[in-house]
């Protein structure tokens, strides 16, 4: 890829409230004794840990990056797990993260504070015979070079670190990768480079296509969160600017193709964790799981948010069993673990988790269609013979079309929803469509569910119209209609994939068919409860995190949704009877 396609701007400088106790540049080796506490709110270390701080690692082009290695004291060779992100290798106990975990209701007393943000806790891993490597990648903090964001080139840097780690005197020659978010996304790129010492990966909710998952989801520019994310790219030189790149490259092209990992090259064993509710990570995690070539891959779908899930003790031990098998060669029965474990959300206190299956969706689920009927506002199992239209103001926050179906028997929906809509723009040549699938109780009240331990007034306030990552509000999809062209090779009956490589504006009075993918679901529906499908001109779920702005649509005039007759708009869902008890 030509360097001219990338846009670099000055990196941010670090701010107050962001430094941890080991943030200063202090190369050297020290031992943190059992009982050591990084701060009073964190747990004491259960074992002695050797900290090799600010170790220089030279990449293939001569650039030097710096890493911290935390490993068990002693002479036994151990495997190492790596947490790759530019968020600061020594900042897990910084005040901003203590405040963040407090807001979410996470108990810091179960952590050591020595972990990189969203990365593995050395207190746990060193106590179980692993080393942890926390790097500052190219350009981050004291590392040389410019900060690159999610590409094959970053994968090459990660490869170089993995191969350096694999031959260290304390290492048994086996390296794994783990972590949330950026730390998950970077693992796809590293694994695609096939470093020989990499033996297993554990992407815990992350993106797999930066264009589709982050900056231009559904063909609609969505910059508020990327702008927030950019402030975490701290260094002495330059940083890649995703927003500027999206403005310069609004369609899928060579730049964005370089930010899709070569999944066909990912053959290493993989433990992949997903949820139905992460506004940034859900589609990309499922896509990554579907796409990798590995024959040894496991998917676990949980019912909370990734941070409390990642640090939950039982889940840490589950991941340890995976790494024990592949990084230590222990015959512990890991391979008998169900290839898929999914959650079935009830939203009224009866969630089922770790439901075993061989695939997602499980084979017993059948795709069914619920047809939209604008005349009655219903979702029906038979296509309406009479045509009708639902019309709303595309510029109004209140503008929407709503369709309902009431359950008549216990039902489970597990898999990939999609909608097919026949639409028309009145007073415009384009439409930004936002689609939502929600569950209502028998009385018609919306059912939602917090994904974090804290359910207090502040969290209730910030999630009411935003912070969608902290509360399950239903499934959602979006599409700019002028970018409706489907990639016929990649699309399936369940999952439409748009090429996003062209613009096809609407002519006056033209009715077009659009397919829109929604977030995967695992949802129980009991008798008299309802499913509600909403089509709107605005994102009703709001911004991603507290303080993050909503995606701004570009709508004018009225949106017309055609149903029935020659325009059978429908919602497609994977369905089977729900066995109670």
Kindly report the CATH number assigned to the domain that includes residue 263.
3.40.50.1820
Given 291, 316, 337, the domain boundary residue is: 337
Q: Are 517 and 454 found together in one domain?
A: yes
Q: Does residue 143 form part of some domain? A: yes
Which pLDDT does position 14 carry in this prediction?
77
Give pLDDT, residue 16.
65
Is the domain of 268 the same as that of 397? no
User: Which of 126, 135, 132, 133 has its CA nearest to residue 49?
Assistant: 126
Q: Which residues in the chain land under pLDDT 50?
A: 1-2
Dist CA 537 CA 396 (whole Å): 7
State whether 296 and 420 are in the same domain.
no
| Residues 309 and 224 occupy one common structural domain | yes
As for how many domains the chain has, the answer is: 2
| Same-domain status, 329 and 370 | no
Domain shared by 58 and 194, yes or no:
yes
Same domain, 137 and 257: yes
* Nearest by Cα to 257 from 516, 2, 519, 479: 2
Give the pLDDT confidence of 444-474 residue by residue, as tens digits.
999 999 999 999 999 999 999 999 999 999 9
In whole angstroms, give the CA distance from residue 80 to residue 328.
10
Backbone angles phi, psi at 159, to 5 degrees: -55, -50
The answer on 503 and 400 residing in a single domain is yes
Tell me: do 323 and 386 sit in the same domain: no
- Domain-located, residue 533: yes
Phi-psi region of 542 (alpha: psi -120 to 50; beta: other; left: phi over 0): left
Specify if 351 maps to a domain: no
Give the per-residue pLDDT at 1.
47
Structure tokens at 440: 């209502």
Range(s) of the domain holding residue 184: 3-337
Task: Establish how many alpha carbons lie within 13 A of residue 323's alpha carbon, considering only the half-sphere containing its beta carbon.
Answer: 27
* Residues 275, 304 contacting (CB under 8 angstroms): yes
> Do 128 and 31 belong to one domain?
yes
CA 385 to chain centre: 41
**Residues pairing with 71 in the sheet:** 50
Q: What is the CATH number of the domain that holds 437?
A: 2.60.120.260
Q: Which two tokens mark 380?
A: 């029906």
Domain termination site, one of 319, 337, 355: 337
Structure tokens, 186: 């970077």
Distance of CA 177 to the CA centre of its chain: 16
Q: CA distances (Å), 142 to each of 66, 375, 392, in order?
A: 7, 63, 53
């Amino acid at each position: 890829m030509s360097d001219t396609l990338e846009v670099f701007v000055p990196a941010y400088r670090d701010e107050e409230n962001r430094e941890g106790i080991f943030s200063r540049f202090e190369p050297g080796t020290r031992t943190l004794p059992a009982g050591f506490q990084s701060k009073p709110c964190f747990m004491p270390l259960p074992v002695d840990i050797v900290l090799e701080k600010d170790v220089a690692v030279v990449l293939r082009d001569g650039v030097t990056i710096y890493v911290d290695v935390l490993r068990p004291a002693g002479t036994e060779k151990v495997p190492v797990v790596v947490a790759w992100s530019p968020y600061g290798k020594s900042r897990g106990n910084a005040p901003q993260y203590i405040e963040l975990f407090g807001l979410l209701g996470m108990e810091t007393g179960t952590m050591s504070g020595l972990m990189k943000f969203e990365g593995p806790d050395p207190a746990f891993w060193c106590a179980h015979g692993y080393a942890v490597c926390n790097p500052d990648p190219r350009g981050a903090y004291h590392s040389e070079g410019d900060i690159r964001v999610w590409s094959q080139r970053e994968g090459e840097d990660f490869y170089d670190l993995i191969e350096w780690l694999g031959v260290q005197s304390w290492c048994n020659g086996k390296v794994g990768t783990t972590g949330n978010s950026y730390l998950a996304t970077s693992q796809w790129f590293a694994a695609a480079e096939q470093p020989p010492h990499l033996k297993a990966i554990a992407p815990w909710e992350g993106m797999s296509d930066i264009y589709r998952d982050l900056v231009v989801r559904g063909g609609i520019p969505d910059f508020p969160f990327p702008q927030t994310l950019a402030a975490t790219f701290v260094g002495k030189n330059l940083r890649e600017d995703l927003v500027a790149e999206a403005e310069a490259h609004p369609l899928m092209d060579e730049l964005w193709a370089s930010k899709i990992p070569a999944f066909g090259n990912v053959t290493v064993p993989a433990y992949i964790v997903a949820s139905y509710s992460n506004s940034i990570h859900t589609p990309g995690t499922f896509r990554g799981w579907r796409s990798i070539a590995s024959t040894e891959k496991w998917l676990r779908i949980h019912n909370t948010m990734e941070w409390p899930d990642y640090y939950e003790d039982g889940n840490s031990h589950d991941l340890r069993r995976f790494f024990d098998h592949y990084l230590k060669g222990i015959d512990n029965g890991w391979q008998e673990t169900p290839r898929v474990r999914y959650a079935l959300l009830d939203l009224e206190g009866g969630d089922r988790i770790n439901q075993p299956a061989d695939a997602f969706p499980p084979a017993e689920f059948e795709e069914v269609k619920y047809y939209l009927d604008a005349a009655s506002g219903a979702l029906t199992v038979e296509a309406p013979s009479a045509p009708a239209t639902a019309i709303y103001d595309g510029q109004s926050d209140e503008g929407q079309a709503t369709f309902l179906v009431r359950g008549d028997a216990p039902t489970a929906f597990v898999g990939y929803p999609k909608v097919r809509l026949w639409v028309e723009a009145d007073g415009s040549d384009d439409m930004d469509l936002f689609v939502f699938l929600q569950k209502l109780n028998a009385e018609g009240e919306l059912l939602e569910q917090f994904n974090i331990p804290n359910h207090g007034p502040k969290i209730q306030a910030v999630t009411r119209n935003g912070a969608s990552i902290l509360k399950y509000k239903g499934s959602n999809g979006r599409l700019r209609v002028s970018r409706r062209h489907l990639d016929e090779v990649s699309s399936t009956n369940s999952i439409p994939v748009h090429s996003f490589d062209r613009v096809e504006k609407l002519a006056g009075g033209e009715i077009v068919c659009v397919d829109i993918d929604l977030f995967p679901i695992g949802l129980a529906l009991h008798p008299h409860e309802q499913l509600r499908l909403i089509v709107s001109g605005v994102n009703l779920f709001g911004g991603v995190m507290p303080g993050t702005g909503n995606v701004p649509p570009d709508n004018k005039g009225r949106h017309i949704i055609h149903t029935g007759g020659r325009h059978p708009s429908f919602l497609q869902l994977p369905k089977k009877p729900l066995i109670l008890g």
